[in-house]
Amino acid sequence: MKHLIKYIFLVVCGLCFLGTISAQKRHKLTQKTSKKSSSKKSLKVAKKNTVKISKNNNNSSNYNSAIQVPPPIKTDSVPEKVVTILSDFKPQLKNLAKINFNNATVQNDTSSLHIEYNVPSQNLSFHYKPISLVPRSYKSDSLIHNNNGSVKVGFGNYLQRDIDVNYNFKDYYENTHSINIYNNAYNGLHHLQTLNEIGINYLNSININDHNRLISKLYYKQSERNRYGLVPDATLFPIANYKQNYYLTGASIAWLNDKSEFGNVQYKPILNYEHFEGFTGATNNWVEFKNNIYIKYKSDINFNLNVDYSYNQLKSKSNTGNNNSFIFMTPAIQMNKFNSFIDLGVSPTFENGKFNLYPLISFKRKLADSNYIIMAGWNTEIINNQYTTLVSTNPWISVPSTIEMTTHDKKFIEVQVNAGKRLDYGINLSLNNYKNLPLFNRLPNVNAIINGVLYNALFEKEASTIELEASLRYQFSDKLLLVNKFKYIQFNSLLDNAKPWGILPMELDSKINWLPTNKWNVSGGIKFWTGATLSNEKKLPVDMKNAYVLNAMVQYKLTSNWSTWVKGENLLDRPYERWLDYPSLGVQLLGGIVYSFRK
C-alpha cells in the first residue's frame, strides 16, 4: 500500500512538471509572435524601454528568458537607454593539469557577472533617405594608359633637318610598347654630297606570367646617298650612276626568364632575322638563334651551356655570293673558389660543316684590402660577317663577291680600379689572332668620274695584333658625368695584304654630360683618331691625316612640355676624311624644339 501511494505521488508530480513545461513553450511562442508584429511600433513609440533578459542554466543548455516592455512614462527628461543582461554563468578556461594521469576537476564559478551596455538613442532606429539618381554617360575603360612621348624637330645649315618622334604606352594588360620614327637629311657643298635616312623602330614587352616575358623588335631603315668621291661638281652624267642606296628590314624576339619554374635553371633564347638590299640590288639574309642556359648546381658552382647558330646568305644579280653558317657552343663550369671567380670550358664549333674545338678560360679576382680587380682569360669568337655590317663600317663599298666568317682568338689580361664612388678606370691588354679579318681598300680599275670612288671588302686570312684598351669614368653626384675610351691596335703580321687597309691605329672618344640647373643640359664630346692606310688613285699606299671632331649640344627646358636645343658638329671646322677622297662637312649648326607629353 505504501508503494502504491508513492507511485501515485510520482505520477502526479510528473504530470504537473510536464504541464508547466508545456505552458512555458506556449507562452514563448505567443511572445515571439506578438514581438514580431509589434517590434517596429514599440521601437518608435517607446521613449524609455528597459529590457530584462533572464537566463537560467541548471546544468543544461536551455535558456529561460522574459522580456518586459513597460508602458511609456511621460516626462520631460529623456534618460539614457540601458540594456541589462543577467546571467548565472560565465565562460571559463578549464584547468588542464593532470593528477595521476587524470584531468583535474573543473572549478565551478557560481558568481554572477553584471554588465551594462549604454545604447545611444539615435541607434535604436535608423531612417533610410535615398539619394536622387542622376543619369550619367557610360565611359568604357581605355585599352591604352600611361602613355608618353616626344616630338623633336630641328633645322640647320647645309639644309639639314632632324626629325625624331617617340611614343611609349602600356596596354590594358600592362604590356609596354615603344615606337620611334626618325628622318635625317642634309645637302653638302657638292651636288652629290647628300644623305636622306628614314627609319622606324617598334619595341614591345609582353608579360606571359610573373617570371616570363617576350621582348620583340621590328625595324626598317632606308638610306639614300651618292658616291661623290673624285666626281667633278659640274659632271653631266646621270645621278643614277652614283647611287649608293640600301634598305634594311629586321625582326628580333627574345624570351626572358627571370626565375624558371625549376628554380635552378634559367634560359634566354633570342631569334634574329635581317634582310638587306644594297648596291645594284644585291641582297643579304641573316638568321641567328642564341640560347644562354644557366644551371645553378651549388652556391659556389654553376654550369653554363650557351648555344649560338648563325646563317648568312649573300646573293647578287650576277649570281655571285655564298652561304655561311656555324654552330657555336660553350659548355663551361663556373666556380667561386679561393676568393676568385673561375670559368672553365671548351667551345666545340661547326663552321660550314668543319669541326673545331677552342678553349674557354676566364679568371677574376679582387685583391684583398684594395679596389683592384684582376681579370685574365683566353677565348674565341666566331663572327658571321654580313653585307649589312660591312656597309655600316664603310658605306662606299661595292657588292662583295664573297663574304667570309671571322675567327677571333683572344688572350687578355685586364685591371679594373674602383677609386671611389666617383672614379672608375681600367686597362686591357690582349694578344689577338684573326682569320678572315675584314679590311677595306679602294677598288682598282674603276673610273671615279663616271662611277665615283668605290671600295672593296678584303678578308685577310691570318693576322696577329697587340691591342690596348682603356676606359675612365668620373661622375660628380647627378650633375656631371665624364666617360673616356681609348683603343690602340698594332699589327704584327699579315699573310695576304701588305697593309691593314682601312683600320684605324688609334681612337680616343671622350664624352661629357653636365646639368648646371634643372632647366639646362649641356653635353658634348671630342673624337680623335690617327689616319688609316689606304691606296690612292695611283695604287700607292697613303697614310691619311689625323682627325679631330668636336661636338656640343645645349638644351633648355622652357616649360614642363616644351624645350629648345642647339647642336654643333665639327665645331673646329677641320674637314676630315674617314675614307680617302670622301671629305666631310664643315661646321654644322642645328637648332630646334622638343615637345614632350605624359598622360
What is the tens place of the pLDDT at every residue in 415-464? 999 988 899 999 999 999 999 999 999 998 889 999 999 999 999 999 99
Q: Are residues 532 and 503 in contact, defined by beta-carbon separation less than 8 angstroms?
A: yes
Nearest to residue 221, comparing CAs of 244, 202, 200? Answer: 200
Output the 3-class SS for 305-356. Answer: EEEEEEEEEEECCCCCCCEEEEEEEEEEEEEEECCEEEEEEEEEEEECCEEE
Q: List phi, psi (to 5°) of 280.
A: 55, 30
**Is 589 in a helix, a strand, or coil?**
strand
Cβ neighbours around 395 below 10 Å, total:
19
Confidence check: pLDDT of 360 > 50: yes
pLDDT at 49: 40
- Identify the band that residue 15 occupies on the pLDDT scale cut at 50, 70 and 90: low
Higher-scoring residue by pLDDT: 388, 14: 388
pLDDT at 339: 85
**Is 389 in a helix, a strand, or coil?**
helix
What value does the mean pLDDT of the chain take? 84
Output the 3-class SS for 95-115. Answer: CCCEECCEECCCCCCCCCCCE
Output the CA angle 345-384-490, nearest 5 degrees.
Answer: 80
The structure's pTM equals: 0.74
Residues 6+ apart with CB under 8 A from 46: 69, 72
- Identify the band that residue 296 occupies on the pLDDT scale cut at 50, 70 and 90: confident
Q: Which of 5-19, 143-157, 248-262 has the highest mean pLDDT?
A: 143-157
- The residue ranges of every structural domain in the chain are 48-56+64-70+81-90+111-121
Strand partners, 489: 467
pLDDT at 5: 54
CA distance 14 to 8: 10
Task: Look at phi and psi of residue 335 and say left if phi exceeds 0, alpha if psi is from -120 to 50, else beta.
Answer: beta
What is the tens place of the pLDDT at every residue in 215-269? 999 999 999 999 999 999 888 899 999 999 999 999 999 998 766 544 578 888 9
- Identify the band that residue 337 occupies on the pLDDT scale cut at 50, 70 and 90: confident
Higher-scoring residue by pLDDT: 251, 13: 251
Confidence check: pLDDT of 124 > 70: no
pLDDT at 193: 95
Q: Are residues 379 and 410 in contact, defined by beta-carbon separation less than 8 angstroms?
A: yes
Strand 437-442 versus strand 176-187 pairing type: unpaired
Averaged pLDDT, 542-546? 96
Nearest to residue 565, comparing CAs of 528, 512, 524, 505? Answer: 524
What is the residue-wise DSSP string for 44-96?
A: HH-SS--EEEEE--SSSS--------PPPP--SS-PPEEEEEEES--------
End-to-end CA distance of the chain: 105
Residues 6+ apart with CB under 8 A from 445: none
Share above pLDDT 70 across residues of the chain, in percent, rounded to a whole number: 75
Element (H, E) at 251: strand 246-257
Residues 6+ apart with CB under 8 A from 584: 570, 575, 576, 577, 578
- Identify the band that residue 58 occupies on the pLDDT scale cut at 50, 70 and 90: very low
Averaged pLDDT, 176-196? 96
